Structure 1
Amino acid sequence: MDQTARETAKREIDESLKLSIFCMKRIGLTFDKPKTTSSYLKQQIIFVLSALCICYHVFSELVHICLTVSNSPRVEDVVPLFHTFGYGALSIAKVFVLWYKKNVFGQLLEELSGIWPMPPLNEDAQAIKDKSLAALRIGHQWYFAINILGVWFFNLTPILLYFYRSWQGQDAHIGFVWVSWYPFDKHQPVAHVAVYIFEIIAGQTCVWIMVSTDLLFSGMASHIGLLLRILQRRLESLALTEKTDDEHYQDLVQCIKLHQRLISYCNDLEEAFSLVNLINYVLSSINICCVLFVIVLLEPLMAISNKLFLMSALIQIGTLCWYADDIFHANADVALAAYKSGWYRTSPRCRRTLLFLIRRSQKPIAFTAMNFTIISLVTYSAEI
């Protein structure tokens, strides 16, 4: 692939990940090197402030949990505090992994541009590419909208409750977004406003982090699935046109090289996201258990805040499992596509080579949580 085609491929990949890149910029991270010193300093300041914001946010929730345990160690008082704390702790883990491996992710995107399907493509390959990118775009838009609307539901709930109670003639006051501890009286007028604004920023920052990492993983995984499906079509069309044995062999060699590059790319991506997936799997499981406990045993039937939180948590972990599962099955289908090809029309040399491809594609490609468990829809169904 020449430099012009590679740059075009990079632009297409960036366009498919624009919502993830947008969210990353909100917390001061980017895969592109800043062009000026002022841009670099601006990014660093935003990142440091974002990190400090969510760290204190999680610390204040942890202190509140400890104080609650010491004052009233009842299950019904303590458990409702854990899922929001867990969400914040998960955000901290993700942002520092994203920051630490920022160059790794950038390199993976650069490598992806080298194997990206570029014109001229046959009709089937172009259709697969268009369908995959359209589905990814719709999925990312919905995921982004659900998370943004969810956090702003929490941000505005205290104000909406204030107006509702005032309309009902009840004693009304504006509360807080989260249940946290502060080393001062947060009910004083100035402190109340400052804390409310801080909690809005902290909650929004957590969402920027969660959305950016989740969309980055799902986008890159979707692109691998796209390339595996194009590889399937190439294999299915093998030897269906009149060519010499050498030409059939060269076509097969190109398919094997692409498959090897995709396997290598998947392994690199798995290594980059493995720690994030482990933290995600463990904390999401705890969060889901805690919020289900609250919904079933403690929360009134008409209350919806925890139900929305549960829906968001299930969508978040379900999205990751969906795209990881797609790669798992797409790689397995490579062997089936090779078997359905016109291999019986080829020379013994091509058949032996094709057999190696089939044997290799039967070895699963899977994302794991630090080898603790495989991330797939089976994992998702077991978790819920």
Structure 2
Amino acid sequence: MKIDNTLSKSMEILLRIFGIWPDSSYNSLRRLFWTIAIIMEQTLEYQWVVVHFYSNESFEVMKILSETMTYTIMFIKVVIFWVKQRTFTKILTMMAIDWENRAIDEVSMITTTYNANLSRRFNNGTVAIYTVAVMFHCSHLFANDMDEKASNTSLRPLIMNMDLPFDFSKTLVYWPIIIIQFIHLMLCAYINGMLNTLLINLILHVGGQIDILHKWLMEMFPTEKKLSEKSSLSPLVVEKVIKKHQQIIIFSENIEEMYTNIAMVLFVSDTLIICCLGFILVTSVGTPDGMKIIMRTILFYVVSNMEAFTYCFAGEYLTNKTSSIMDAAYNSCWYEANPRDSRFIVFMIMRSQKQLTITIGKVMDLSMERFSSILKASASYISVLIAMY
């Protein structure tokens, strides 16, 4: 089964680079490369935080710590996708089957095509947002005081602060490091954003399949017929509806299996990251370099909030969509059919009462209420840090 064209080309390329895309060549070597590269980068960054924890300004340490935590979460996401490779392949295969079967009727064609195009727009928007965020993050390299810092080469800034074990002040060493850090940062930002957008793509796809099921339910029963004119349903139509419902359930459960552990990690980490970035924004107001710090941090803060919102919105959307299957089954004209033909509606309603959702480590459901709790907890921690500052 071909799984091409189920996702955007940019997402497929990034997933191939990080060894996530199924059946890619040299996946093991790519995974080994990124494991070594990210572990080295994480070690040097955390070492910088430990060494400069008391010697630097608190908001600078908070900034580097939040960035380092973001890379850690990104790596955890990638590792989970490596481990769940078989589940990810099942998801892509099911999407490919739905894409091939979209020509069954006009509703399937319109709905599937619309959601695919909407997913590609989300992917392109994610690339644009993360590109701008990385550019703003690197803006300090081109600040007005660059010449002053260059006079003392020991203070030459890096894109990602690291405690390097060698002298990088020389130009021939400094600029290759900057280029490597920039490429590494850009790729890591892209894959972090794309794994979040992938969740939206999957949720939109399952939402489109639920809309198709709604339409089939509304059209399968006869309408405005007298009791004596009732006609029997075709067993093939009933089988098609039931199989579509089963496919939606399996697809949703695969999404849950892929993202439940990621959601658990994000629920804790995003609270701390948003707290650190909010503390930086608040404490930088009124300082001499406040505007520069805010410009470098604001998009990072927005992206972190977007990440938490994306997961909570996806869980809320999936819950509401799967619950609507029960309403669509009840609102169909089952009462116009023979009792023997409409009995399967009872089983569909009973099965739909068990909501499909994305959980946080199998503990609690992702919802907009969870997003509000993340923001409330972050605001509380910010107020405590400001009081201690």
TM norm structure 2: 0.83
Q: Could you tell me the percent identity over the aligned residues?
A: 20
Contact 2:312 2:371 in 1 (8 A): yes
Indicate yes or no: 2:2 matched with 1:20.
no
Task: Give the counterpart letter for 1:18 in structure 2.
Answer: K
Q: What is the match of residue 133 of structure 1?
A: 116
Go from structure 1 to structure 2 and tell me whether the alpha carbon gap of 1:244 and 1:261 turns closer, same or farther (over 3 Å shift). Answer: farther
CA distance in 1, matches of 2:86, 2:103: 31
The Cα of 1:288 is off from its aligned counterpart by 0.8
SS in structure 1 of the partner of residue 113 of structure 2: helix
Matched, 1:214 2:200: no
Q: 1:120 to 1:102 in 2, by over 3 A?
A: closer
Q: Which residue of 2 aligns with 1:239?
A: 221
Q: 1:286: Cα distance to partner?
A: 1.4
Segment drifting more, 241-250 vs 121-130: 241-250
| Contact 1:94 1:209 (C-alpha < 8 Å) held by counterparts | no
Matching of residues 16-55 of structure 1 within 5 Å: 16-34=7-25, 40=26, 43-55=27-39
1:332 matched to 2:315: no
Whole-angstrom distance in 1 between the partners of 2:260 and 2:235: 37
Amino acid in the other structure paired with 1:210: N
Which structure 2 residue ranges, 5 or more long, are not aligned? 151-155, 376-389
Matched, 1:321 2:312: yes
CA distance 1:240–1:141, shift in 2 (3 Å)? farther
- The amino acid of 2:18's aligned partner reads I
Q: Distance in 2 between matches of 1:291 and 1:274?
A: 25
Matched, 1:290 2:276: yes
Alignment counterpart, residue 63 of structure 1, candidates 34, 47, 51: 47
Give the one of 158, 162, 174 matched to 1:180: 162
The gaps in structure 1 that reach 5 residues or longer are: 1-5, 35-39
Of residues 173-182 and 82-91 in structure 1, the stretch that sits farther from structure 2 once superposed is 173-182
The match for 1:104 among 70, 77, 87 is 87
CA contact (8 A) 2:334 2:342 kept: yes
Q: 1:171 is matched by which residue type in structure 2?
A: E
In structure 1, the partner of 2:148 is: 171
CA contact (8 A) 2:102 2:112 kept: no
- After superposition, the Cα gap between the structure-2 partners of 1:222 and 1:216, relative to the gap in structure 1 and judged at 3 Å, is same
Pairwise CA distance, 1:381: 2.8
Change in CA separation of 1:324 and 1:20 when aligned onto 2, cut-off 3 Å: farther
* Paired position in structure 2 for 1:278: 264
* Structure 1 residue 334 displacement after superposition: 0.9
Distance (Å, rounded) in 1 between the aligned partners of 2:275 and 2:209: 37
After superposition, the Cα gap between the structure-2 partners of 1:120 and 1:244, relative to the gap in structure 1 and judged at 3 Å, is: farther
**CA separation of 1:222 and 1:252: change in aligned 2, threshold 3 A:** same
The answer as to 2:97 corresponding to 1:114 is yes
Q: Do the aligned partners of 1:235 and 1:341 also contact (CA within 8 Å) in 2?
A: yes
Letter in 2 for 1:274: T
TM-fit CA distance, 1:44? 4.2
The 1-side partners of 2:240 and 2:272 are apart by: 46
Report Cα offsets for 1:315-360 as digits up to 9, x if no partner.
Answer: 2232233333222111111111112211110122233321221121
Counterparts of 2:272 and 2:355, CA distance in 1: 28
1:94 and 2:77 are equivalent in the alignment: yes
Contact 1:50 1:205 in 2 (8 A): no
- State the secondary structure of the residue aligned to 2:359: coil
- Residue 200 of structure 1 pairs with residue 191 of structure 2: no
Q: What is the Cα deviation at residue 248 of structure 1?
A: 5.1
Amino acid at match of 1:68: H
Q: Does 1:228 align with 2:210?
A: yes
Instruction: Give the C-alpha shift of residue 63 in structure 1.
Output: 0.9
Match of 1:260 in 2: 246
1: CA distance, partners of 2:231 / 2:5: 36
Superposition deviation, residue 119 in structure 1 = 4.4
